[in-house]
Amino acid sequence: MILSVRDFAIGFQREGQNLVAVDGISFDVAEGETFVIIGESGSGKSLTGMSIAGLQPPTAFVSGSIRFKDREMLKRPDAELRKLRGPEIGLIYQDPLSSLNPVWPVGDQIAETLVAHGLAGRTEARKRAVEMLERVRIPDPRRVTSAYPHEISGGMRQRAMIAMALAAGPSLLIADEPTAALDVTIKAQMLELLAELKRELALTIILITHDMGVVAEVADRILVLYAGRIAEVGPADSIMLQPSHPYTAALMTSAMISQTPAKQELNAIVGGAPGLGAFPSGCRFHPRCPRAQDDCKAIEPPRRKFGAVELACHHPIEAAMSLQVARS
Amino acid sequence: MSISTQLTRWTIARPRGVLLPLALLMVVILAAFTLLPGLIAPHDPIALAMADRLKPPSLTHVFGTDEGGRDVFSRIVYGTRYSLGVAIAIVFASALFGVVYGAVSGMARQSIDNLMMRIVDLFFGFPALVLALAVAASIGRGLDSVALSLAIIWWPGYARLVRGEVLRLRERPHVEAARALGVSEMTILRRHIIPFVIQEVNVRVTTDIGYALVAVTALSFLGLGANSPTPEWGLLIRDSRPYFGSAWWYLVFPGTMIMLTATAFSLIGDALASRRAA
Amino acid sequence: MALLELDAVSKTFSQRRGGRAVQAVAGVSVAVGKGETLGLVGESGCGKSTLARLALKLVDVTDGRVRFDGIDVTGFASRRMLPIRRRLQAVFQDPLASLNARMTIAEVMREPFDTHGVKLGAGLEARIRELLSFVGLENIDIQKLPGQFSGGQLQRIAIARALALEPEIIVADEPTSALDPSIQAQIVNLMLQIQRKRGISYLIISHDLDVIGHVADRIAVMYLGTIIEQGTADTIMQRPLHPYTQALLSAAPTLAARRQVGWKRIMLTGDPPNPADVPSGCRFHPRCHLARDICREKVPPLRAMPGTGQMVACHLAPEETARAGAEVGRARRGLAAAS
């Protein structure tokens, strides 16, 4: 296991109240896999991803453990975490401008990460920056190295950000909604690039997204987060094609517009995701769940093995039934 | 450049913890000084008492006395109305005129907008001191001429701020949605733009009161403003100069008062700005 | 007769500071019939949002005509547009941004009535409640500000407001794009429901082919300010002829793709085009995997295919692209084809 998360919780203090955003989740990520964290806004997916890289908001309180390559990440001083980000963990975001400095040429920024980590001297780093840009399929890497972020197109910026994240040779790449703002044709390019880079560089990828299409494309294993708790975790095929948790099933069916006959009612989940501090009792999904019964309101479902997956649900969907749900 | 940056410049750190309550307390005190000076000031601010000339701070005269034997504290209390009053008047008048001017410019056709902004540029370029001298020369020295000349150079700041905000807000989705609904431009301005502009203007007004106070007292200090024996703060400092070596209190207390007042308004403006951002 | 008709409209934005003019929409003709849904799909910068704003008369056309129910409204000033606006309403992408943050829901909801001089007096609140419950919002506190509602609720409020004057058509610019996936499906359902109950028309603009394919009767595909393909939803989603439409359909990742081992998608190279720098000939040729000499030189006209009414602007279609199109369509429906 390259990453082990145990009973991880993160929360905030607001107006004297403790608001728990992620409430005791555990999962493992194996070396070389693409592990996808699915969730809607407020599910805690980004907080979880950022905490893995030691980037939780400074005002947050955390508990539990996040072990990356046998190092505890949660209680590590900032200076040490900074040393890990780059050579061990790379990060990419939805908005490339958030990680690229607008007043610095792209190539210099990539080279700087190498120099800062003592991986290369200035001249060597510059050469490696060009190589890195080539590696992310930028057609004219020499021109782009000396360009400022605003001088290159959105797609190129996205690639430059990936190049920067990977320059120092990390083994884990955390991608937080990397395709959310992209057009479909560019999104397809980006997914292909990530798949290729993963192969070439033997990367482990943790992808955080709410785009089921993207998930279907790349996921090996999937973690479904709902209101700060794990709904379901397991192999992608089981979760996408035979979802057992009613929430996952609903997510998948509402994402299957192209398989629903035109103009017919889609299988939508009622209501909206609960906000921070307003998580329901018992199973947090119960107010929106079509299968909810009395026990769901009162008792928080424990996590248990169910077929190929682990889930937290009192009344999961049996395999034969789930196929039907997936087809309706 | 506004006069505040020409004459002086205050840079103040973000208000934290106790600073903001202290600033608010300061404003309450200033309000009391302005509205009820008679109840607070222990002595007459104008009447001379040559026997008590240049007395250091004591229990009877907490801030000491001036060369006419007048109580410096009482003069400061009565002076609030002049110094701060004029500063507030300048800022309010400028803001009022600037909001209307800026809103019209921001909503108008581009050619009119351009013309109106060139006029603003003209006023912006005007050197404050020269204008103050010219106004003083034509209508006479006094707080009214200070107020007039400062207002003349102050309003363009508001006109620019408001025009920029209006232009920005005009492109906002909620304005576009209102337009699609058929809401008239006047109603859009009144209902969907001005309330957001006012938020910005409030911040600016609060901070500017401090700057304007510094400007008013500075012009009085230079001899362009209030005339003796008005207890205006800048004039107090001007009058104190010959005695600084022997009567430090005469200079230090009015000076501190100006500084504290400007700081208080600046802090509150800052707090308003950060609350609006949140 | 079409309810809303854009006839060869163009829009050129002149940039300030002497920058060159950008033609966001270049001679586009589309029409939405009564009770019909026209879906307009394209990537960012293709001019689809500008087209929506032209249709709503939020910006004026540089060229061409805009007609509403046969009335030429191209030169109409805002006063003359008012009675038209009552019949033509809009829903926008970001529901939070498109509602005034300082107005309560009650104020937001009464604005259409006030604007159009509809006096409901004491019946106003009941009418507002009725509209809100029609969009699935019973018992919400209408004295609250928009910031206190979720995105899905706000989009319902925006839709309720658009319905207040019982319009005949709603122009919706990316109505689901800013919402969470489970909420997107709710809004799609709501829009379909409204159409079934009220028989209104929609002009829906989106980059999301899934949504457009699901709700539209007809689809127009935009690329760099022009329409490159147009037809019934079935033909566009199942048998697209233009290489760009095919690439678009093929690029969108779907659950179906997971079930189709060995399916190769059409991958476009290069960036989305820049409207300030329009290529010669066919605007799509620099990214087209089938481009040949003629594509660089001659602008392909939008021509009608015999029989289907499908219109395509491509030098190659339909002879050379029909097979690939049918394949893309099948792959997308994945599950249906496989089972």
Average of per-residue pLDDT values in chain A = 90
User: Which helix (H) or strand (E) is A132 found in, with range?
Assistant: helix A122-135
Q: What is the pLDDT of residues B156-211, one digit of tens each?
A: 999 999 999 999 999 999 999 999 999 999 999 999 999 999 999 999 999 999 99
Q: Where are the alpha helices (DSSP H) in C96-206?
A: 105-115, 124-134, 151-163, 181-198
The arithmetic mean of pLDDT across residues C278-306, rounded, is 93
Q: What is the pLDDT of residues A106-156, one digit of tens each?
A: 999 999 999 999 998 999 999 999 999 999 999 889 999 999 998 888 888
pLDDT confidence of residue C263: 65
CA distance A24 to A10: 8
Write the DSSP assignment of A185-209 as a string of letters. HHHHHHHHHHHHHHHHHT-EEEEEE
Chains that touch C (3 or more CB pairs under 8 A): A, B
Chain B residues in contact with chain C using a Cβ-Cβ cutoff of 8 Å: 172-174, 176-185, 187, 191-192, 195-196
Q: Where does the pLDDT of residue B2 fall: very low under 50, low under 70, confident under 90, or very high at 90 and above? A: very low
Asked whether the beta carbons of residue C271 and residue A214 sit closer than 8 angstroms, the reply is no
Q: Where does the pLDDT of residue A98 fall: very low under 50, low under 70, confident under 90, or very high at 90 and above? A: confident
Interface test with C, best of B109, B176, B188, B276 (most C CBs within 10 A): B176
> Considering only residues 252 to 271 of chain C, which have any Cβ-Cβ distance to chain A shorter than 8 Å?
252-259, 265, 267-269, 271
pLDDT confidence of residue C335: 44
Region of poorest pLDDT, from A66-75, B149-158, C267-276, C300-309: C267-276
Pairing of strands A304-306, A309-311: antiparallel
Asked whether the beta carbons of residue C111 and residue B185 sit closer than 8 angstroms, the reply is no
Give how far Cα C288 sits from Cα of B221, C25, C266, C273, Å: 75, 21, 10, 12
Asked if pLDDT for residue A328 goes beyond 50, the answer is no
CA distance C140 to C300: 53
**Omega of the bond prior to C243 within 30 degrees of 0, cis?**
no
How many CB atoms within 10 Å of residue A207? 27
Region of poorest pLDDT, from B81-90, B108-117, C318-327: C318-327
Interface test with C, best of A34, A157, A245, A263 (most C CBs within 10 A): A263
CA distance B161 to C157: 33
Q: What is the pLDDT of residues A74-95, one digit of tens each?
A: 988 989 999 999 999 999 988 8
Q: What is the ipTM of this complex?
A: 0.89
Asked if pLDDT for residue A70 goes beyond 60, the answer is yes
CA distance A189 to A198: 14
Asked if pLDDT for residue B260 goes beyond 80, the answer is yes
Q: Which of A236, A258, A267 has the CB atom closest to C256's CB atom? A: A258
The arithmetic mean of pLDDT across residues A310-323, rounded, is 81
Q: In chain C, which residues have their Cβ closer than 8 Å to the Cβ of B187?
A: 115
CA distance C130 to C123: 11
Share of chain C above pLDDT 70, in %: 94
Asked if pLDDT for residue A47 goes beyond 90, the answer is yes
Q: What are phi and psi of B229, to 5 degrees?
A: -95, 25
pLDDT confidence of residue B9: 30
The arithmetic mean of pLDDT across residues C167-180, rounded, is 94
Among B154, B145, B148, CA closest to B224: B145
Asked whether the beta carbons of residue C78 and residue B187 sit closer than 8 angstroms, the reply is no
Contacts of residue C200, defined as CB under 8 A and 6 or more positions apart, other chains included, come to C35, C167, C168, C169, C170, C194
Residue whose structure tokens are 């909206």: A272
Q: What is the pLDDT of residues A178-187, one digit of tens each?
A: 988 788 888 8
Asked whether the beta carbons of residue B184 and residue C101 sit closer than 8 angstroms, the reply is no
Asked if pLDDT for residue C18 goes beyond 80, the answer is no
Q: What is the pLDDT of residues B91-148, one digit of tens each?
A: 999 999 999 999 999 999 889 999 999 999 998 888 888 888 888 888 888 899 999 9
Give how far Cα B225 sits from Cα of B75, B209, B232, B259, Å: 16, 17, 9, 19
Q: How far is A137 from chain C (nearest CA, A)?
A: 11
A15, with CB counted inside 10 A (0-12, 13-18, 19+), is: exposed
**What are A137's two structure tokens?**
């399929």
Q: Are C145 and B211 in contact (CB under 8 A)?
A: no
User: C-alpha dihedral over C196, C199, C200, C201, to 10 degrees?
Assistant: 90
Q: What is the pLDDT of residues C230-272, one digit of tens each?
A: 999 999 999 999 999 999 988 877 776 666 666 677 888 877 7
Write the DSSP assignment of A289-317 as a string of letters. -TT--HHHHHSPPPPEEETTEEE--SSPP
Q: Are B217 and B83 in contact (CB under 8 A)?
A: yes
Q: B18 vs A62, which has greater pLDDT?
A: A62
Residue whose structure tokens are 């329901």: A280
Asked whether the beta carbons of residue C56 and residue B180 sit closer than 8 angstroms, the reply is yes
pLDDT confidence of residue A252: 84
Asked whether the beta carbons of residue C89 and residue B195 sit closer than 8 angstroms, the reply is no
Asked if pLDDT for residue C338 goes beyond 70, the answer is no
Q: How far is C226 from chain B (nearest CA, A)?
A: 24
Asked whether the beta carbons of residue A268 and residue C185 sit closer than 8 angstroms, the reply is yes
Interface test with B, best of C13, C60, C86, C102 (most B CBs within 10 A): C102
> Considering only residues 68 to 87 of chain C, which have any Cβ-Cβ distance to chain A shorter than 8 Å?
none
Asked if pLDDT for residue B13 goes beyond 60, the answer is no
Asked if pLDDT for residue C123 goes beyond 90, the answer is yes
Q: How far is CA B219 from the centre of its chain?
A: 13
Share of chain C above pLDDT 90, in %: 73
User: C-alpha dihedral over A310, A311, A314, A317, to 10 degrees?
Assistant: -90
CB-defined contacts B:C, below 8 A = 54
Task: Quote the pTM value.
Answer: 0.86
Asked if pLDDT for residue B1 goes beyond 80, the answer is no
